[in-house]
Structure 1
Amino acid sequence: MARPRLPVGTAGKITSRRDGPNWIAFCKYCDLDGIVRKIRVWDATKTKAENKLRERIRDRQAVQGRVNMGTKVVAVGEKWLSEFREQVDLGNRSGSSLDTYEHRWNTHVKPRVLGLSMGDLDAGRVDTILQDINRALSASSAKTARTVLSGLWGYAVRNGPLKINPVRDARPVENRKRRKAPRALEVHEALAIFELADGDEIAVRQDLPDIMRFYAGTGERTGEGIAVRWEHIDFKAKVARMEGNFVRTKADGAKINDGKSENAQRDVVLADWLVTMLLNRRARVAAQRGIASEALTGWIFPNSKGGLREASNLRRDWRAFRVRHGLGDWFTPRTFRRTVATVLTDALPARYASDLLGHSRVSQTTDTYVGRKAPSRRPAEVLEVLGGDLKEGSKGAP
C-alpha cells in the first residue's frame, strides 16, 4: 500500500543522524503548491538540531499563513483581527464591532493567553479563561471574549490542518447577577419629565425638551434620532424616514451607517402632537436663519455649530439633567424607547411595536424593551367572562 501523501502545510517525521562533527536533522515538508520538499538543518547536538528544525518548520508555516498547534495564540488573534478589518473596509462588518473586539482582545483576552500556543488553548483552557473574565468583570465581557476566541479559532481552522474549534465545548457563560427588568416610564412620569425639561434653562439650550419628545414619539435609538434630517420628514403624510444610525469608530470617525438590522431603514408614523412639535421647531429654526420653513434642510437636532451632534455629548447632557433633577441612573435616552415599546404592547399586538422600533424579531421587543412595573388589569378584565353569574360578595357552588 502506498504511503499517504503529506497534507499541504505539514511536515513528516523528523530524522536525525551524525554528519561529521555535527548532527543533521531533516524531514519532508509539503508546501502550499503541493510539492513535497526536504528541509535540513545542522547543529552541535541531536537535540539542538531537531529543535532548530522544528523552528524552521514553524517559521515556514508562519510565512505561508498556516496555523498549527505550535502557533502562538497572540499571533493568530492579531491575524483574525486583521481579517476582520478587511471585512469592515469591504462593508461586510461593523466598525463598532471591530472596536469592541479589539478592546476585549487587548484588555481581557490577550493578557490571559500570552505565551500560549494553539495546542494549549483547548476547551478546558478556554472555559477557565471565560469563567475568570466572568468573575472578574461581567457576563457581558465574558460573552464578547468568547466571540473573540471563537473567531481566532475559526481563523486557525480555515488556515491550517486544525479541524475543531474547541470554544464551542466550553461551558456557557452564566450571568451571576439577576437581570434587571427593563425600566419604562408611566405616561404621567414621562409628562412630568417633559415639564422638568421645559423649565430647565440648560436643558432648553441643549435642545433636550424637543429631543426627549422626539424619542418618546418615535422610540428611536439614540443614534437614529441624531441622524434624522428635515428632508426625512413628510409632514403631509405624518411620516419620518429613518435612514441610518450615528456611529463613531476608530477607523472612520463619526458617520451615519445603514442601521443595526435590515429593518433599521423604515418609515415611522408620527402622532399629531409630535408633528405639531416638529412644525413649531422648523418654523423657529427657519426664522432664525431667515429662510422659509419649507426650504429648511439639515440635521433636526444638530450640535451648537449646526453640525452632526455627537452621541457621547448627548449622553453627557442627559446625565447632567438627570443629576440636576434627582433622577436615577436608569434614566437614559433608551428609557423612552422602552416606554414606547411598553405603551404600544399594552394597547396593540406586539408586532406593531416591533415594526416601529425596527426590530427583526417580535421577541426582541417583548423580552428586552417592554418594561413592567405593575401588573396590568387588562388580563383580569378579559377573564371576567369566566365569572358566569357570580357577583362580588356572592358565594360560589358548595
Structure 2
Amino acid sequence: MPVGTHGKITVTPYLDGVRLVGEGKTWHTPEGDQVPMKKITWIARCRFRDNDGRTRPVEAWSSTRTGAEQNLQDALTTRKRASSDKITAGTRLEVLADYWLRTKIDPSKLAVNTKQRYRYATEQYVIPGLGGLLLRECTVSRLEAWVTREVEVEERPASARLALSCLKGMLDVAVREDALTANPARSVTPVPATADAEVKALAVAEVVKLRAALATDKKAKSQDLGDLVDILLATGCRIGEALALRWSEVDLDEHVVYLTGTVVREKGVRLFRQDTTKGKKPRGHLVPAFAVTMLERRSAEVEPGELDLVFPSWRSGLREVTTVDKQWREFRERHPEWTWITPKTFRKSVGTAVERGADIEAAAAQLGHSRSAVTAKHYVEVAAIGPDHREILERFGGIAAPA
C-alpha cells in the first residue's frame, strides 16, 4: 500500500471481548447463546501504512455497525492528515495547500478577512487548477501556463495574482521542509496589476445635496444611513469601523471620536467586533460640529445596548457591512442621480478635501495610512486644473531690453 492509505475495512460484532457468530440481526456466542442487538459492540478494523512505511492495525468501535465504520473512517482521516504533515517531493500540491492553511495561515496573526481571502483563493483556484500535481512536478513552466490561463482565458487577473501569492507561500514551506531545493513560483512572471479606476470624490455642493436627500428619505432615515454618512464624512473611516464604534470611544465634550476596531464576518462562524482596525492602530479624530450634533442627538435617542454601539442593528447587536451596502444600493435605486456613489466614495471625498485644504501628508494621517503614496494613488481625486503658479511662470514672458 502507498504511504497514507489503508486496506480493506472489516466490521465484526463482539460481546465482552468474545467474537460472535451469525448474520443480519441474529447473533450468538460460540456456545450458541443468542445475544440481543443492544448488547453487541461492533469493532471496525483495517491496516494503515504510516509515514514511516510501516503498516499497523487501526480499529474503532460503536454500538452499531454503521457507527463503528464511521468512527474508523474519522480515525483514518486524522491519521492521513498526520501522515501528510511530512512534506516530500512526492507530496501532492493539494496536501501541501491544506498543510499551509492549517499550520501557517490559520494560527497566524493575520486579519480574519486576510485569512479568508487566502483560503478562498487556495480552495477555489490553486487546488482545482494544480492540486493533483506532485511537488516534483510543479515546474516553472507548468505554473506559468496555469497563471497565464487564469489571466487570459478565465479573465481573472486579480484572482490569479492572489493565487500566485498563495502558491509562493506554500511552496516556500516545501523548500523549508527540503521537499524542493527552490521555489518555482518565485520564477513565474508576475501578474500585472490592473489599471486603477480614476478616483472620484464628492464636491462640497454635492455632499450638501446628498445629505439633504438622505434626511428626507424615510427608508434611509429609518436605517440610519444619513447618520452613518455623517460619521464617514467627519472622520474618513471605513464602514466597518463606523459600525464598530462604541459610545465609550466618543468624547462629546472634546469633540473626539476614537476608532479602535471593525466589524468582521468570519465565514461559517459568526459576526464579531475585531478589536483592531485595518491599519492595526487605533485613531482619534477631532470631528466637525455637524457630526457632534448628530452624535449628541443619537446619544439621547439610541439605546446603548449590551455592546454599547453607536450604530447598532434593530436588535441592538452588530450590523453587517453587507447589510449597509445593500441598503445603500436600494437608496441609489430610489435616487438614480447618486448611482455612482459607494460607501468608499466618502472616504475618498475626505482624503481629497483634506489634501486640497492642507496637504497629502495630512490626508494620509486623516485616513490612517502609513504611506502618503497610497493616499495619493487611491483616495485623492486628480484636480481638473493644476495649482496657480502664473506669477512664477510669468517670468518667462519678459522681453530683453535692446542692446
TM over 0.5, shorter chain: yes
User: Residue 160 of structure 1 is aligned with which of 168, 178, 187?
Assistant: 178
2:113 is aligned to: 96
Deviation of 1:241 (Å) = 0.8
Structure 1 residues 328 and 243, CA gap change in structure 2 (3 angstroms):
same
CA distance in 1, matches of 2:167, 2:96: 10
Is 1:348 aligned to 2:368, yes or no? Answer: no
CA–CA distance in structure 2, aligned partners of residues 220 and 38 of structure 1: 57
Q: Does 1:115 align with 2:115?
A: no
Alpha carbons of 1:303 and 1:319: their partners in 2 closer, same or farther (altered >3 Å)? same
Take 2:169 and 2:396, find their aligned partners in 1: how far apart are those partners?
Answer: 64
| Match 2:327 to one of 313, 317, 324 | 317
Alignment partner, residue 250 of structure 2: 233
SS of equivalent residue, structure 1 residue 307:
coil
TM-aligned CA deviation for residue 84 of structure 1? 3.3
Deviations 1:115-149 (A, max 9, x none): 21112212222222222222214321111101111
2:309 equivalent to 1:299 = yes
Matched, 1:387 2:394: yes
Q: Secondary structure of the equivalent of 1:87?
A: coil
Cα distance in 1 between the residues matched to 2:365 and 2:167: 34
* Native 8 Å contact 1:61 1:67 kept in 2: no
Structure 1 residue 386, shift from structure 2 partner: 3.1
Deviations 1:361-390 (A, max 9, x none): 111111111123x5235x1x2342331496
Residue equivalent to 1:139: 157
1:74 aligns with 2:94: yes
2:347 alignment partner, one of 337, 349, 353: 337
Asked whether 1:195 is paired with 2:212, we answer yes
* Cα distance change, pair 376–236 in 1 and its aligned pair in 2 (3 A): farther
Distance 1:157 1:326, change over 3 A: same
Distance 1:342 1:60, change over 3 A: closer
Give 5+ residue unaligned stretches, structure 1: 1-31, 40-58, 290-294
- 8 Å contact from structure 1 (residues 217, 270) kept in 2: yes
Q: Which of 358, 368, 384 is equivalent to 1:375? A: 384
Corresponding position: 1:274 with 2:274:
no
Provide the C-alpha distance between the structure 2 equivalents of 1:382 and 1:262, rounded to a whole number of angstroms.
Answer: 40
Alignment partner for residue 228 of structure 2, among 211, 220, 237?
A: 211
In 2 relative to 1, CA 347–114 (structure 1 residues): closer, same or farther, beyond 3 Å?
same
Q: Is the Cα contact below 8 Å between 2:249 and 2:258 reproduced in 1?
A: yes
The answer to which of 205-214 and 78-87 deviates more is 78-87
SS in 1 for 2:356: helix
CA distance in 2, matches of 1:61, 1:97: 24
CA distance 1:296–1:150, shift in 2 (3 Å): closer
Q: Distance in 1 between matches of 2:179 and 2:195?
A: 42
- Tell me the SS of whatever aligns to 1:268: strand
Letter in 1 for 2:351: A
Note the residue ranges of structure 2 that are not aligned, 5 or more in a row. Answer: 1-50, 55-78
How far apart are the structure 1 equivalents of 2:95 and 2:349?
A: 46
| Cross-structure match for 1:150 | 168
Aligned pair in 2 of structure 1 residues 107, 196: CA closer, same or farther (>3 Å)? same
Q: Is the 8 A contact 1:230 1:296 kept in 2?
A: no
AA partner of residue 339 (structure 1): S
Shift of 1:261: 2.1
- SS class of match (1:317): helix
CA contact (8 A) 1:95 1:251 kept: no
Count of residues in correspondence between the two structures: 327
Moved over 4 A (4+): 59-62, 395-398
2:313 aligned counterpart, secondary structure: coil
Contact 1:282 1:296 in 2 (8 A): no
Counterpart AA for 1:303: S
Report the Cα distance in structure 1 between the residues aligned to 2:173 and 2:271, rounded to whole angstroms. Answer: 30
Q: Is the Cα–Cα contact under 8 Å of residues 230 and 297 in structure 1 kept in the other structure? A: no
* Partners of 2:171 and 2:399 in 1: CA distance: 66
Aligned match of 1:224 in 241, 253, 256? 241
Q: CA RMSD in A?
A: 3.0
The Cα offsets for residues 296-321 of structure 1, whole Å up to 9 and x where unpaired, read as 98111111122111111111101111
CA distance in 1, matches of 2:126, 2:93: 10
Using the alignment, how far apart are the partners of 2:219 and 2:322 within structure 1?
17
CA contact (8 A) 1:221 1:337 kept: yes
Q: 1:396 to 1:276 in 2, by over 3 A?
A: farther
Q: One-letter code of the match for 2:317?
A: G
1:278 deviation in Å? 1.4
* Structure with the larger RCO, 1 or 2 (CA within 8 Å, 6+ apart): 1
SS at match of 2:384: coil
Deviations 1:321-365 (CA, angstroms, capped at 9, x unpaired)? 111111465411110000000011011121211112111211111
Which one-letter code corresponds to 1:159 in the other structure? E
